[in-house]
Amino acid sequence: MLRPALFLALLGVCLLAAADGRDDLATQRHIEPAIDYRLFPDAGNAPDDPLVAAQLDGWHRLPPGRSANFGYREDVAWFRLDVPTLPEARQQILEIGYPQLDSVRIYLLRDDRVAGQLDSGDWQPMANRPLQHPHVLYPYTVDPDSRYRFLIRVQTSGALQVPITVWERDAFFDHISRIDQAHAVYYGILITVIFFNLFVFLAMREATYLYYALATFGYLFLMSTLRGITYPLLWPDNPWMQNHSMMLSVPLAMLFSLLFARAFLGLNQRSPVLDRLVRLAIIANLLAILGSFLLDYNASMRLSVALAIPSCLLLTGIGPLEWWRGNRPARLYTFAWGLLTLGSALTAANKYGWIPSNFLTDFGMEIGSALEALLLTVGLAARLYQEREEKVEARESQLRALEARRQAELRMMEQALHNPLTHLPNRSSFELLLQDLLTRESDRRHAVGIVQLGNLDTITRTLGHQNTDRVLELAAQRFNSVCRDLPGVYSVERDARHTFHAASLESATFGFIVDADTAQSQRRRIIECLEAIRAPLDYLGMQLPLEPVAGVAVSPDHGNDPNTLIRKAYVARESLEARERGLAYYHPRHDSYSADRLTLASSLREALKSDQLALYLQPKLDLRTRQVAGVEALIRWPGREPAVSADQIVAVAEQTGLIKPLTRWVLEQGLGIREALVRAGYPELSVSVNVSPNNLREQEFPLFVQRLLTSHPQHAGKLILEVTETSMMLDPANSLRALRSLHYTGIPLSIDDFGSGYSSLSYIKRLPAREIKIDRSLITDLSELPEDRVIVQTTINMCHDLGYAVVAEGVEDHATLDLLGEMGCDMVQGYVMTPPQPMKDFLAWMEDQAASEQRRA
Ligand code: C2E
Ligand code: CA
Ligand code: CA
Q: What is the pLDDT of residues 200-221, one digit of tens each?
A: 899 888 888 999 999 999 989 9
Q: Is the CB of 647 under 6 A from ligand 1?
A: yes
Q: Phi and psi for 855 in degrees, rounded to 5? A: -60, -45
- Phi-psi region at 103: left, alpha or beta (left = phi > 0; alpha = psi -120 to 50): beta
Among 21-35, 64-78, 817-831, the minimum mean pLDDT is found in 21-35
Pocket residue to mutate for ligand 1, from 640, 664, 666, 690, most atoms within 8 A of Cβ: 690
- Distance, CA of 187 to CA of 485 (rounded, Å): 86
Give me ligand 3 centre to Cα 741, in Å: 23
pLDDT over 80 (residue 30): no
Q: Is the CB of 635 under 6 A from ligand 1?
A: yes
pLDDT over 60 (residue 564): yes
Among 337, 558, 322, CA closest to 446: 558
Give me ligand 1 centre to Cα 753, in Å: 10
Average pLDDT over residues 524-545: 82
Q: Which atom of ligand 1 is nearest to 753's Cα?
A: 3
Give me ligand 1 centre to Cα 380, in Å: 96
In angstroms, the first-to-last Cα distance of the chain is 126
Among 194, 188, 247, CA closest to 216: 194
Residue-wise pLDDT for 320-363, tens only, equals 999 999 888 888 899 988 888 888 888 878 766 677 777 788 78
- Distance, CA of 500 to CA of 488 (rounded, Å): 14
Q: Which atom of ligand 1 is nearest to 663's Cα?
A: 42
- CA distances to 555, 557, 563, 565 from 444, in Å: 8, 11, 18, 14
Q: Is the CB of 669 under 6 A from ligand 1?
A: no
For residue 18, the model assigns a pLDDT of: 47
Residue type, 88: E
Q: Atom 11 (ligand 1): residue with closest C-alpha?
A: 836
Structural domain boundaries in the chain:
26-177, 178-383, 427-593, 616-856
Q: Is the CB of 658 under 6 A from ligand 1?
A: no
Q: Which residue has the higher pLDDT, 756 or 621?
A: 621
Q: Which atom of ligand 1 is nearest to 659's Cα?
A: 44
Q: Which residue has the higher pLDDT, 661 or 534?
A: 661
- Distance, CA of 287 to CA of 292 (rounded, Å): 9
- Distance, CA of 455 to CA of 582 (rounded, Å): 13
For residue 95, the model assigns a pLDDT of: 92
Confidence class for position 286, pLDDT limits 50, 70, 90: very high
pLDDT over 70 (residue 171): yes
Q: Is the CB of 668 under 6 A from ligand 1?
A: no
Q: Atom 27 (ligand 1): residue with closest C-alpha?
A: 646
DSSP secondary-structure letter at 62?
Answer: P
- Per the omega criterion (within 30 degrees of 0), is the bond before 556 cis? yes
Q: Atom 24 (ligand 1): residue with closest C-alpha?
A: 646
Specify the CATH class of 427-593 in words.
alpha beta
- Distance, CA of 186 to CA of 177 (rounded, Å): 14
Confidence class for position 21, pLDDT limits 50, 70, 90: very low
- Phi-psi region at 611: left, alpha or beta (left = phi > 0; alpha = psi -120 to 50): left
Number of neighbouring beta carbons within 10 Å of residue 85: 12
Strands (E), 596-714: 614-622, 627-636, 686-691
Ion ligand 3: residues, Cβ under 5 Å: 752-753, 809
Q: Is the CB of 621 under 6 A from ligand 1?
A: no
Q: Atom 12 (ligand 1): residue with closest C-alpha?
A: 810
Give me ligand 1 centre to Cα 68, in Å: 136
Q: Is the CB of 810 under 6 A from ligand 1?
A: yes
Q: Is the CB of 618 under 6 A from ligand 1?
A: yes
- Distance, CA of 352 to CA of 432 (rounded, Å): 95
For residue 598, the model assigns a pLDDT of: 66
| 778 and 755 Cβ atoms separated by less than 8 Å | yes
Q: Which ligand is nearest to the CA of 618?
A: 1
- CA distances to 101, 247, 457, 648 from 226, in Å: 11, 10, 101, 113
pLDDT over 50 (residue 20): no
For residue 23, the model assigns a pLDDT of: 43
Give me ligand 1 centre to Cα 631, in Å: 12
- Most confidently modeled of 244-258, 264-278, 687-701, 833-847? 833-847
Q: Which atom of ligand 1 is nearest to 692's Cα?
A: 44
For residue 19, the model assigns a pLDDT of: 47
- Distance, CA of 243 to CA of 246 (rounded, Å): 5
Give me ligand 3 centre to Cα 773, in Å: 6
- Distance, CA of 696 to CA of 709 (rounded, Å): 17
Q: Is 721 helix (H, G, I), strand (E, B) or coil?
A: strand
Residue-wise pLDDT for 569-589, tens only, equals 998 888 777 777 778 888 876
| 600 and 650 Cβ atoms separated by less than 8 Å | no
Q: Atom 46 (ligand 1): residue with closest C-alpha?
A: 690
Q: Atom 14 (ligand 1): residue with closest C-alpha?
A: 830
Confidence class for position 48, pLDDT limits 50, 70, 90: confident
Give me ligand 1 centre to Cα 567, in Å: 26
Pocket residue to mutate for ligand 1, from 634, 658, 777, 820, most atoms within 8 A of Cβ: 634
Q: β-pairing, 749-754 with 719-724?
A: parallel
Beta bridge pairs of residue 805: 771
Q: Atom 17 (ligand 1): residue with closest C-alpha?
A: 810
427-593 and 616-856: same fold? no
Q: Which atom of ligand 1 is nearest to 773's Cα?
A: 3
Residue type, 86: L
Q: Is the CB of 723 under 6 A from ligand 1?
A: no
Q: Which ligand is nearest to the CA of 646?
A: 1
Q: Phi and psi for 596 in degrees, rounded to 5? A: -85, 20
For residue 22, the model assigns a pLDDT of: 42
pLDDT over 50 (residue 316): yes
Q: Is the CB of 692 under 6 A from ligand 1?
A: yes
Q: Which ligand is nearest to the CA of 620?
A: 1
Average pLDDT over residues 64-84: 85
Average pLDDT over residues 453-481: 86
Residue type, 844: A
DSSP secondary-structure letter at 139?
Answer: E
Q: Is the CB of 831 under 6 A from ligand 1?
A: yes
- Phi-psi region at 7: left, alpha or beta (left = phi > 0; alpha = psi -120 to 50): alpha
| 592 and 613 Cβ atoms separated by less than 8 Å | no
Q: Is the CB of 693 under 6 A from ligand 1?
A: no
Q: Is the CB of 509 under 6 A from ligand 1?
A: no
Q: β-pairing, 548-555 with 446-453?
A: antiparallel
| 428 and 417 Cβ atoms separated by less than 8 Å | yes
Average pLDDT over residues 411-431: 83
| 61 and 34 Cβ atoms separated by less than 8 Å | yes
> In whole numbers, what is the pLDDT of the chain averaged over residues?
86
Give me ligand 2 centre to Cα 835, in Å: 13
Average pLDDT over residues 558-569: 90
Number of H helices and E strands in the chain, helices first, is 31, 29
Q: Atom 21 (ligand 1): residue with closest C-alpha?
A: 810
Residue type, 724: T
Q: Atom 37 (ligand 1): residue with closest C-alpha?
A: 634
Average pLDDT over residues 705-727: 90
- Per the omega criterion (within 30 degrees of 0), is the bond before 134 cis? no
Q: Which atom of ligand 1 is nearest to 831's Cα?
A: 18
Give me ligand 2 centre to Cα 461, in Å: 28
Specify the CATH class of 26-177 in words.
mainly beta
Q: Is 23 helix (H, G, I), strand (E, B) or coil?
A: helix
Q: Is the CB of 23 under 6 A from ligand 1?
A: no
- Distance, CA of 363 to CA of 369 (rounded, Å): 10
For residue 587, the model assigns a pLDDT of: 81
- Residue 820 contacts by C-beta under 8 Å, 6 or more apart in sequence? 623, 779, 782, 792, 808, 811, 828
Q: β-pairing, 548-555 with 583-585?
A: parallel
The yes or no reply on domain 616-856 and CATH 2.40.128.120 is no
- Phi-psi region at 146: left, alpha or beta (left = phi > 0; alpha = psi -120 to 50): beta
Q: Is the CB of 341 under 6 A from ligand 1?
A: no
Average pLDDT over residues 823-847: 96
pLDDT over 90 (residue 820): yes
Q: Is the CB of 687 under 6 A from ligand 1?
A: no
Give me ligand 3 centre to Cα 726, in Å: 11
Q: Is the CB of 695 under 6 A from ligand 1?
A: no
Q: Atom 29 (ligand 1): residue with closest C-alpha?
A: 647
Q: Is the CB of 755 under 6 A from ligand 1?
A: no
Q: Which ligand is nearest to the CA of 813?
A: 1
- Distance, CA of 820 to CA of 827 (rounded, Å): 9
pTM for the predicted model, two decimal places: 0.49
- CA distances to 73, 250, 279 from 247, in Å: 17, 7, 21
Give me ligand 1 centre to Cα 312, in Å: 111
Angle at 764 between CA 771 and CA 756, to 5 degrees: 80
What is the full DSSP assignment across 357-410?
A: --HHHHTHHHHHHHHHHHHHHHHHHHHHHHHHHHHHHHHHHHHHHHHHHHHHHH
Give me ligand 3 centre to Cα 501, in Å: 41
Q: Is 56 helix (H, G, I), strand (E, B) or coil?
A: coil
Among 151-165, 408-422, 542-556, the minimum mean pLDDT is found in 408-422
Confidence class for position 720, pLDDT limits 50, 70, 90: very high
Q: Phi and psi for 813 in degrees, rounded to 5? A: -140, 165
